[in-house]
Amino acid sequence: MASTRPVRPGGTARLYQVVAQQLAEMIQANAADEGWRVPSERELAEQLGVSRPVVREAIIALEMRGLVEVRGRTGIIVLEPHGGRVSFEAADDGPGPFELLEARLAIESSAAAMAAEKATSADIAILEACIEQMQGERDVRLLNEQGDRDFHLNIARMSGNAIILSMIETLWVQRDQSAMWRKLHEFIHAPDVRPLWIGDHHAVLAAIRLRSADGAYKAMARHIRNVIEELLEADERAHLAVAIAPRRPF
């Protein structure tokens, strides 16, 4: 079996790409062993000394390169090789979706706290309208809900800091352009999560209406953590387990 030594990024490689490279080499090294199974996501995280979100991003990157495939409730299948070594050395898939969410957690929580101290009655009315729009968006995918986007960007604007606004706008653009983000959302069941996330937005608005900077910070942080948790658990529920399913022999 290939070594599962702890990994750390080197050069300009992103951590999930380093992990994806090692997983690809692990799969290749064990190709002749029909009884071998890729360790579970939690086991890989422990063996490699990284977080579960990083392992999840690495698996998505491998899927996008045709090395593995997610097949409904069957799980993740290791595919037959297409020839040649899979390399991430020169690849740039952009930031991973959990990397983006970690940045949003840090920046948007602070923006919400600042907005609570500066919000006007007109600002609060705008946020109320954004939530109302979210509640009326029934036939849209989670990736293109305009009310959600407007809510977050208006809070960034309300912070009164142009640099913070620019940073948050950039994070949302990167999210929209990320193929990995779209892949991660495939197993999200929108009717289940939208009420929770809309409730999170109401909590943020309530704190801002009360001019509570601490409450707004905590409410926004709780919302983004809820998003992270749902994305981590969604495909685990869809496939019954994170463990890699039986594969075809090479």
Residue 36 confidence (pLDDT): 75
Residue 214: both structure tokens together? 């601490």
The Cα 204–Cα 212 span in angstroms is 10
The Cα 242–Cα 239 span in angstroms is 7
pLDDT average per 10 residues of sequence, the chain (250 residues): 52 81 86 76 88 89 81 63 62 81 97 98 98 81 78 98 98 90 74 86 98 98 93 63 44
Q: Is residue 29 a contact partner of residue 19, using CB atoms and an 8 Å limit?
A: no
- Is 30 exposed, middle or buried, given 0-12, 13-18 or 19+ CB atoms closer than 10 A? middle
Q: Go through 125-150 and write b for each residue having 16 or more CB atoms within 10 A of its CB, e for each that does not.
A: ebbeebbeebeebeeeebeebebbbb
Residue 245 confidence (pLDDT): 46
Residue 5 confidence (pLDDT): 53
How many helices, marked H, and strands, marked E, lie in the chain? 10, 2
pTM (2 d.p.): 0.79
**Hey, what domains does the chain have and what are their CATH numbers?**
15-92 (1.10.10.10), 97-234 (1.20.120.530)
Q: Please list the alpha-helical segments (H only) found in the chain.
A: 15-29, 41-48, 52-64, 97-118, 121-136, 146-158, 162-177, 179-184, 190-209, 213-238
